[in-house]
Structure 1
Amino acid sequence: MTMTLADAGVLLAAYLLGSLSGSLLLGRLRGVDIRRHGSGNAGGTNALRTLGWRFALGVVAIDVGKGALAAWLGLRLAPGWAYPAAALAVVGHVWPLWHGFRGGKGAATAVGALLVLWPQAVLPLLAVWGLVLLSSGYVGLSTVLAGLSLPLLAYWQAAASARMVFALALALFLLFTHRSNLQRLWRGTESRFERARLWHRWRSRA
């Protein structure tokens, strides 16, 4: 597939959109760099733990929105490059040009892209994420397992090659960006979101 100058422009725009970090942009309005608090990650989970749910909701809205916008631009302006545009938005979130290449882990931006490019995958993805979170309380593990479910879903749906490659690449990328979570989980030092462990609390009361 030949890339035109317009296609390259869309891909560049997707990366630059991804580089607009919700937590860092909103943090500037409060005079806070979230990377200096909590886990040091510029993502929604750290935003929730350090600055509360209202701030985290704004962060997630921006991060999901930019993934959706990048994917939409790819579909409208460079249809053959829609999945690469979505991938570059996720890359931009993790290594943002505007913020010293220190961003988040890419999950919310990936969800935004999926809402546009593969909306049927979002509900199963969130179901896996929610079930693992409710049973374990580990956000990072929930995200990794949800990501790993994407290639299985693509295979089950006999997805086209572009979607299959995107699903596999995204699963591996989320595994990479959450490697520190998995290392802490292995060592038994990973932080748990105890309030989310509804299954554990229900079993304790039973």
Structure 2
Amino acid sequence: MIELGLKFTLAYLIGAVLGSLLVGFFYGGVDIRKVGSGNPGGTNALRTQGKVFALWVMIVDIGKGIFAAAVIPPLALPGVGIDPSIDRSLVLYSVAFAAILGHVFPVWFGFRGGKGGATAAGLVCYLAPAAALPVLISWVLIVFTTGFVGLATISASLIAVIFLGFTVLPEESGLFLFACATAGLLIYAHRGNIRRMLDGTESRFASPGARWLRRGQ
């Protein structure tokens, strides 16, 4: 279990490197926690710094999850090696979840991070590529029709759970449990968005559907 604990911690620390703050450092010290919604995630980066900045943020946040899942599980750590008694799928999915957990609760930044959507999306593409298309389609449709990125991310995570429940069980129960845990974490991370949507105060991107909804209010 030492191997699992060390690899979980390593993946968490990698996940805790926030793309928005890393990119902001190279953009002359921009700290998006001090502008817009104050959230160091991709949505606030897009709203406050523009498309190029947000693109780099997405590349970092998506890439770090894929990197953690691809590199850390098979890594033979010095003094620990590979423990043959541990199920390798347990290591893989634990490491993947740890990367998202690090993004949402980064130790480097007072445990106040992003919402985890981009990192989770990258891991879905890597771990369950068959689920990537329905997840992406659902996310785009909800953003297009409502303008709510948070709602789209929550819904897409639940679509992933449903899709994997029908396609990978019982053979890949570890992948399904990873999807369930990730959906739970994303819902928790978006609890403020949920509250604001219920109150009617949540910000949304302009979209044909969002404009239609505004006219109907």
TM-score, with structure 2 as normaliser: 0.86
Q: Which residue of 1 aligns with 2:197?
A: 185
Change in 2 beyond 3 A, CA 1:161/1:74:
farther
Distance in 2 (alpha carbons) for counterparts of 1:63 and 1:72: 15
Unaligned 5+ segments in structure 1 are none
Residue 171 (structure 1) aligned to one of 160, 175, 183: 183
- Residue correspondence of structure 1 range 59-138 to structure 2 within 5 A: 59-77=57-75, 79-80=88-89, 81-138=91-148
One-letter identity of the residue aligned with 2:55: L
Unaligned 5+ segments in structure 2 are 76-81, 83-87
SS of equivalent to 1:76: coil
One-letter identity of the residue aligned with 1:151: V
**1:69-111 Cα shifts (integer Å, max 9, x gaps):** 1111244337331011010000100111222222101111111
8 Å contact 1:74–1:83 — kept in the other structure?
Answer: no
Does 2:29 align with 1:19? no
User: How much is the aligned-residue C-alpha RMSD, in angstroms?
Assistant: 1.9
Q: CA deviation at 1:199?
A: 4.5
Change in 2 beyond 3 A, CA 1:202/1:166:
same
Q: CA deviation at 1:9?
A: 2.6
Q: Which residue of 1 aligns with 2:79?
A: none
Distance in 1 (alpha carbons) for counterparts of 2:115 and 2:199: 21
Distance in 2 (alpha carbons) for counterparts of 1:67 and 1:185: 28
Distance in 1 (alpha carbons) for counterparts of 2:121 and 2:65: 7
**1:16-75 Cα shifts (integer Å, max 9, x gaps):** 110110001111222221111111111000000000000000000000000001111244
Higher mean displacement: 157-166 or 68-77: 68-77
| Matched residue count | 199
TM-score, with structure 1 as normaliser: 0.90
Distance in 2 (alpha carbons) for counterparts of 1:26 and 1:155: 36
Percent identity reads 46
Change in 2 beyond 3 A, CA 1:25/1:161:
same
One-letter identity of the residue aligned with 2:7: V
Distance in 1 (alpha carbons) for counterparts of 2:33 and 2:119: 18
- Residue correspondence of structure 1 range 1-16 to structure 2 within 5 A: 3=1, 5-16=2-13
Q: Which residue of 2 aligns with 1:31?
A: 29
One-letter identity of the residue aligned with 1:13: L
**1:98-150 Cα shifts (integer Å, max 9, x gaps):** 22222101111111222221111111111110001111111111111111111
